[in-house]
Amino acid sequence: MNILHMFLKLLCLAPFEHARQHWVSQRITSIAIVILGLWFVYQLLFVLTSFDHPEVFAWASDPLNAIILLLLSLYAIYHAELGVQTVLEDYVATERLRTYTLYLLRFLRVMVVVISFVAIGCIIKGGGASPV
């Protein structure tokens, strides 16, 4: 699996996967979430001194932190979709309903990904700064 295909999957542009690819994707995303989650916990415990809005906003406005937060959210969203997809494939009886439900799930993921990009973009540009 090349990097471009994996990035397209994160952005919801790749087709549905077969069972073996699905299993591998679940494992890869879980490893990525663990690594990025440990980074996030480290930042919360040792980098941020307080959790007031200006400090957290300044921390999240740093481009490197914003990119890593975006990656964490993309991997978490994709991993969640993989899990729900597995449940749907196992427990939805009719093929037609399963297909429609999977496309609805894909649509919802696209919406959450767009919201994530907009939110991180607003934070980087400073559009969400609190008034003094």
Amino acid at 118: V
Looking at the whole model, is its pTM more than 0.85? no
C-alpha–C-alpha distance, residues 16 and 22, integer Å: 8
Segment 103-130, tens digit of pLDDT? 899 999 999 999 999 999 999 988 555 5
Nearest to 26 by CA among 97, 112, 87: 87
* Per CATH, domain 3-125 is 1.20.1300.10: yes
Segment 2-20, tens digit of pLDDT? 666 666 665 555 566 677 8
